[in-house]
Amino acid sequence: MTAELPGPSLAEIRAARERASAVAVVTPLEESRFLSDVLGAPVHLKAENLQRTGSYKIRGAYNRLSQLSAEERERGVVAASAGNHAQGVALAARELGIHATIFMPIGVALPKLQATRNYGADVVLHGHVVDETLQAAAEFAERTGAVLIPPFDHPDIVAGQGGLALEILEQLPDVANVIVPIGGGGLISGIASAFAQLEPELGRRVRVIGVQAENAASFTHSLAAGEPVAVATAPTIADGIAVGRPGELNFAIIREAVDQVVTVHDDDTARALVVLLERAKLVVEPAGAVGVAAMLTGRIEVEGPTVVMLSGGNIDPMVMERVISRGLAASQRYLKVNIPLPDRPGQLARIAELIAEANANVVEVLHTRHGIGLQISEVEIEIHMETRGSEHAELVLRRLREAGYSPRVDGTV
């Protein structure tokens, strides 16, 4: 299999890692006792959220730009991205003295826009979806002669990301499994390619498992079809991996070298982000947390030391607030409960007393006589409360039911 594997050779991946070391730092590999207990195997977090620019993207971008000819550098580079690739290309271009133009969609998160500009790139806002932004960048390249830097579908990009496999091996020589988020496939194809080519040298296979968001699972459909296919992506909090069609080269490598691809729901991803904040003290963007989500939901079963890639940490604080709320609701640590009540004095006080006796905390109460399905003699209250998790939440609900009430849990916050 190794001899027939498309894409960069192991020598090219090693050379790419050496080039990228000029800008990329060696990120920590931290053991997680909590996730080790969940998975039933030692789990280590590869914290690329702590990389320069906040993601692994600088590795591939720098490798690609560093190999441009003098004539190509003079023409400048152009890229299109909603965030991480934009920052990687912008920083790589600045370090190499190359002029960069970055197309970003209208409405891009302000921190990502500002960071890209701060790295010295000219930013052009165009299009409301990334496909429109990509088209504008391609037209700019054709019109001006600037070199288009793709986010994932290029051997130099794949080789740059593949350097992470070498770094992991140095930090954890007995690694048995690596869990990697998948968008277009640049990261996982680089890692899987490196490990596949290292198999004879290691004398064992390192399993590589990919994780996609359910609402943007282009690889599961493509692998089933045997070729890259485009899928309609639905909104997902993991916007960093919301890619509708795999890269051609990336797909060819993944089909041969990746052992498994699973998907996760947005609620599970939000819960994983909260776990990483609380247990690992790490800020991770939703796309970077999907590997942890797959472990928490039991979609992955492995044996031996396991590394999960935290691919990025570029999250807008406003988005973080919403995702944390979603994660707390998904783990039933924040409940929104609707309760119909007789319209007479003392009912609200009794409900609050029952909740307090169960050691839950009421944070908000709404009261209405106009709910759908209410009798003329009824009112409905909506209570937002904090609990300590699903078991505690069930205890609170049971106490309310035992007292003769009919609480209805709303899954949204």
Pull the structure tokens for residue 74: 């003079």
- The dihedral of CA 327, 332, 333, 339: what is its sign? positive
State pLDDT tens for residues 307-357: 999 999 999 888 888 888 888 877 788 888 989 888 888 888 889 899 999
Burial of 235 (0-12, 13-18, 19+ CB in 10 A): exposed
The CA distance from 374 to 382, in Å, is 14
**Number of Cβ atoms within 10 Å of the Cβ of 143:** 9
Domains along the chain?
2-56+154-328 (3.40.50.1100), 59-148 (3.40.50.1100), 332-410 (3.30.70.260)
Whether 302 contacts 177, CB under 8 Å: yes
Strand order across the 147-148 sheet: 122-125, 100-104, 77-80, 147-148
Write down the catalytic residue from 66, 193, 311, 331: 311
- Which residue, 201, 220, 200, is CA-closest to 210? 220
Whether 148 contacts 141, CB under 8 Å: yes
Residues 6+ apart with CB under 8 A from 272: 289, 290, 292, 293, 296, 327
The CA distance from 319 to 261, in Å, is 27
pLDDT score, position 309: 98
* pLDDT of the chain, 413 residues: tens digit per residue: 444 789 999 999 999 999 999 999 999 999 999 999 999 999 999 999 999 999 999 999 999 999 999 999 999 999 999 889 999 999 999 999 999 999 998 988 888 899 999 999 999 999 887 778 889 999 999 999 999 999 999 999 999 999 999 999 999 999 999 999 999 999 999 999 999 999 999 999 999 999 999 999 999 999 999 999 999 888 898 988 988 889 999 999 999 999 999 999 999 999 999 999 999 999 999 999 999 999 999 999 999 999 999 999 999 888 888 888 888 877 788 888 989 888 888 888 889 899 999 999 998 888 776 666 666 667 888 999 989 888 898 999 999 999 999 998 876 55
- The dihedral of CA 164, 82, 412, 218: what is its sign? negative
DSSP structure string for 235-299: P-S-GGG--SS--HHHHHHHHHH--EEEEE-HHHHHHHHHHIIIII-----GGGGHHHHHHHTT-
The CA distance from 26 to 21, in Å, is 8
Whether 400 contacts 407, CB under 8 Å: yes
H/E stretch holding 234 reads none
Instruction: Give the SS3 label for residue 384.
Output: strand
* Beta partners for residue 306, in sequence order: 43, 177
pLDDT score, position 325: 83
pLDDT score, position 372: 61
Pull the structure tokens for residue 227: 């070729």
Instruction: Give the SS3 label for residue 387.
Output: coil
57 is catalytic: yes
Residues 6+ apart with CB under 8 A from 205: 195, 199
Write down the catalytic residue from 57, 193, 218, 222: 57
- Which residue, 328, 333, 340, is CA-closest to 400? 340
pLDDT score, position 374: 66
The CA distance from 365 to 348, in Å, is 9
- Residue keyed to tokens 């609050």: 352
